[in-house]
């Protein structure tokens, strides 16, 4: 009965347009009434305890770093480099979009922010050159969802906290799958671009390429600092977030000089709004998680899926289908916060590597961000590119299939995740 109450209130609230955090609180109050443990003090205590986690400090730091990079010119320079290298080729702007989204993914970790930044720069160019607008928008949206996979990744931080998994290991484990997703987009675009007759950009001279590369060095050095710091054990994910924020501020103010101190109130305000939404969501989900444990919901799930424990691959497939269906109507962060505490016990009992499961979960949930009927990234790209939502869906469908193929490969061949992970964490 408790499961029915939870699902009915949650889905009903979502359909009515209630923000997910408030929907979770409504679910919590309903479950408290059903379990006869209604106590507002318990609700408040769990919300505070849920947000009071040292690892979560990485989120405001990385969000701030992303805001500073977008305002301070780092994002623009990241796009300019592949533009000079590939922009003159047939279908070149498509390749530029893919490379730019992969590079941007290594800077901010936010699918929506990366998609908006790349789209704002490239959509006008692609439209002017004659690229079909829905296809261009679909390609950039499909590249934008690589951001939660390649470190630094805000969803991996949330997953690590929700599932009790090493965030550093999750970061390293996401590198190869993220690159695979980018390669899949490259293959599909290579096939599609042959059918597009567009105006080619002039080839950049060697001097222009060198100048652009030199101007991008400061921006490109940020992921090197983050990954290198993890690899050498110099700092934790939280400390990496602080380093990223300070580095982005230094480069934006003193090197590129595109922002001054008077811009920072606006930048801090934008970052604060984003962080407030995420932290309130985490706090609300903590109450739900407490009540789920009180209602013994994880053990109910284990009893239901226990026949599949002896066949981990089948279990993973069933879970991934379920996560994909939920991801079609729910954003990635609440998806993690609601499902991971329930699913992790059965995953561990089946002997599945929790880091591997985390990568599959986040890849799957990221794909949900470009899957109708909700598709938050699709809504963002639709607004930026001024294209109808249904047209963007048609344009991104081949790239959606490419991502699903990559997810299937990761399920069938777990070593695609686990073997590179052992290399990255070796001391």
pLDDT tens for each residue of 223-256: 888 878 877 778 888 888 888 889 889 988 888 8
User: Model confidence at 156, in pLDDT bands (50, 70, 90)?
Assistant: very high
Looking at residue 56, its pLDDT comes to 82
Looking at residue 216, its pLDDT comes to 83
- Position 182 pLDDT exceeds 90: yes
Cis peptide before 121 (omega within 30 of 0): no
User: Model confidence at 421, in pLDDT bands (50, 70, 90)?
Assistant: confident
Across 8-17, 303-312, 377-386, least confident range? 8-17
333-355: average pLDDT:
89
- Position 427 pLDDT exceeds 60: no
359-383: average pLDDT:
88
Q: Return the sign of the alpha-carbon dihedral for residues 6, 9, 10, 11.
A: positive
Distance CA 42, CA 48 (A): 10
- Position 419 pLDDT exceeds 80: yes
Q: What percent of the chain has pLDDT over 90?
A: 23
Distance CA 26, CA 39 (A): 14
Looking at residue 199, its pLDDT comes to 67
Looking at residue 244, its pLDDT comes to 86
258-280: average pLDDT:
88
Which tens digit of pLDDT belongs to each residue from 23-57? 888 888 888 888 888 777 888 888 888 788 777 88
Average pLDDT for the chain: 85
Q: What percent of the chain has pLDDT over 70?
A: 99
| 308, 315 contact by CB (below 8 A) | yes
Looking at residue 149, its pLDDT comes to 93
Q: What is the pTM of this model?
A: 0.87
Which tens digit of pLDDT belongs to each residue from 374-406? 778 888 888 888 888 888 989 899 999 999 999
Q: Tell me the range of 65-69, 160-164, 174-178 where mean pLDDT is highest.
A: 174-178
Q: Which two tokens stand for residue 10?
A: 């949650």
75-85: average pLDDT:
81
User: Model confidence at 426, in pLDDT bands (50, 70, 90)?
Assistant: low
162-170: average pLDDT:
90
**Inter-residue long-range contacts of 278-282, CB under 8 Å, 24+ positions, other chains counted:** 278/59, 278/63, 278/154, 278/158, 278/333, 279/51, 279/56, 279/59, 280/21, 281/20, 281/21, 281/24, 281/333, 281/334, 281/337, 282/50, 282/51, 282/56, 282/158, 282/161, 282/333, 282/337
Distance CA 400, CA 316 (A): 20
- Position 180 pLDDT exceeds 80: yes
User: Model confidence at 361, in pLDDT bands (50, 70, 90)?
Assistant: very high
Distance CA 68, CA 63 (A): 9
User: Model confidence at 152, in pLDDT bands (50, 70, 90)?
Assistant: confident
Distance CA 40, CA 21 (A): 16
List the chain domain ranges. 2-425
138-150: average pLDDT:
92
- In sequence order, the 6+-apart residues with CB closer than 8 A to the CB of 60 are 241, 271, 275
Chain position carrying tokens 């963007």: 392
């Amino acid at each position: 009965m408790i499961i029915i109450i939870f699902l009915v209130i949650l889905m009903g609230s979502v359909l009515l347009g209630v923000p997910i955090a408030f929907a979770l609180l409504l679910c919590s109050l309903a479950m408290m009434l059903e379990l006869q443990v209604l106590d507002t003090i318990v609700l408040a205590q769990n919300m505070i305890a849920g947000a009071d986690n040292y690892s979560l400090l990485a989120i405001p730091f990385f969000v701030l770093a992303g805001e500073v990079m977008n305002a301070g010119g780092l994002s623009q320079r990241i796009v300019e480099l592949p533009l000079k290298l590939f922009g003159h080729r047939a279908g070149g702007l498509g390749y530029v979009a893919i490379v730019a989204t992969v590079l941007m993914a290594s800077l901010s970790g936010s699918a929506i922010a990366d998609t908006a930044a790349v789209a704002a720069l490239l959509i006008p160019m692609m439209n002017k050159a004659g690229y079909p607008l829905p296809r261009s928008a679909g390609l950039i949206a499909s590249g934008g969802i690589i951001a939660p996979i390649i470190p630094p990744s805000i969803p991996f931080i949330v997953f690590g906290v929700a599932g009790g998994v090493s965030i550093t290991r999750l970061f390293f484990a996401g590198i190869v799958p993220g690159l695979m997703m980018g390669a899949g987009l490259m293959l599909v675009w290579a096939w599609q671009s042959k059918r597009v007759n567009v105006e080619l950009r002039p080839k950049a001279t060697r001097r222009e390429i060198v100048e652009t590369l030199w101007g991008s060095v400061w921006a490109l050095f940020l992921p090197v600092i983050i990954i290198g710091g993890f690899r050498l054990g110099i700092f934790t994910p939280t400390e990496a977030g602080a380093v990223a924020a300070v580095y982005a501020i230094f480069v934006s103010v003193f090197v590129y000089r595109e922002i001054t101190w008077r811009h920072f109130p606006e930048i801090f305000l934008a970052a604060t709004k984003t962080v407030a939404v995420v932290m309130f969501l985490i706090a609300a989900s903590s109450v739900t998680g407490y009540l789920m444990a009180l209602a013994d919901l994880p053990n109910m799930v284990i009893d239901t899926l226990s026949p599949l424990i002896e066949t981990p691959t089948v279990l993973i497939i069933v879970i991934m289908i379920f996560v994909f269906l939920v991801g079609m109507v729910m954003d990635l962060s609440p998806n993690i916060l609601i499902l991971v505490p329930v699913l992790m016990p059965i995953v561990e009992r089946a002997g599945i590597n929790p880091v591997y499961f985390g990568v599959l979960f986040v890849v799957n949930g990221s794909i949900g961000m470009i899957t109708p009927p909700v598709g938050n990234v699709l809504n963002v790209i639709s607004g930026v590119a001024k294209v109808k939502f249904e047209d963007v869906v048609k344009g991104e469908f081949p790239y959606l299939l490419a991502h699903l193929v990559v997810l299937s490969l990761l399920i069938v061949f777990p070593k695609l995740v686990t073997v590179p992970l052992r290399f990255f964490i070796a001391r």
